[in-house]
Amino acid sequence: MFDLTGKTIVVTGSCRGIGLAIARALHGQGANVVITARKPAQYPDVLATFATAPERVRLVPCDITSPESVAALFESALAWQGTLYGCVANAGSRGSGQAVCDMDWDAWQAHVGANLHGTFATLQHAAKHLCRQGKGGRLMAISSLSAVKGTAGFADYGAGKAAITSLCRSLALELAASAITVNSVLPGWVETEMNRDVLADRRQYESIRRLRIPLGRWATPEEIAPLAVYLMSEESRYHTGDVITVDGGYRIF
């Protein structure tokens, strides 16, 4: 079950955090994995985390805010393996941390662009290649709990992530006839570098953990990854257009 042997999957923003955990989980199930970073030189040891079968991993620089860079990413993946099976659109930015009344237009554009426009470019290029191949495939995007729960100071982040869920549902309808499934995943609070300031503030961290998460703890990136394995697998072939929350019960509390 969940065997991905011989299947090539692109995972953007995958040199750390949730993206890296997803890439490693897919690789562990036999997939050929293309991992990306805007500046790969910042992650000199990332390939060493794929110690078993390193020949099934390729690191490609990619800036998702550049359509040309995204196009080059998929051309590189195809040149490497000759075919594409799936894509996990994970890369994005955290947001400006500014209130709406204080946010300038450039900050809004930058963060909505990185999250929404970058995801659009990634899924669009992946979808075009999958449709051209005519063999079906799997697409998924990492959104956020902020897509459905407002976060003061991060309206740019939440708006971009909310739009991603709508984008995925529209894509699911457009691509269903081609046997391509499309789903989005909304992680809650996860212990990643992106949340380093909250993790460093023990009072805020403990408040979220004790008062807002019924399971009583934050997630690790490795607890998000198994869902990606399922959504990339043949076993998920009848699962499309979904928005799946993984938040320890935060949303229902």
Tokens for 42, please give them. 């910042």
Q: In angstroms, what CA-CA distances link 134 with 49, 96, 176, 178, 179?
A: 33, 40, 12, 7, 9
Catalytic one of 161, 184, 233, 236: 161
Q: What DSSP state is assigned to residue 58?
A: E
| Residue 150: φ, ψ to 5° | -60, 145
SS3 of the chain: helix, strand, coil, percent, to 5:
50, 15, 35
**Single-letter residue type at 141:** A
CA separation for the pair 20, 26 (Å, rounded): 10
Please check whether residue 62 is in contact with residue 73, taking contact to mean a CB–CB distance below 8 angstroms.
yes
205 is catalytic: no
7 is catalytic: no
Q: Is 232 left (phi over 0), alpha (psi -120 to 50) or beta?
A: alpha
Sign of the dihedral defined by the CA atoms of residues 56, 191, 240, 249, in that order: positive
Catalytic one of 14, 144, 184, 233: 144
Q: Which residue has the tokens 């979220």?
A: 208
Count of residues making up the chain: 253
Distance of CA 185 to the CA centre of its chain: 8
230 is catalytic: no
Catalytic one of 143, 157, 233, 236: 157
Which residues are catalytically annotated?
144, 157, 161
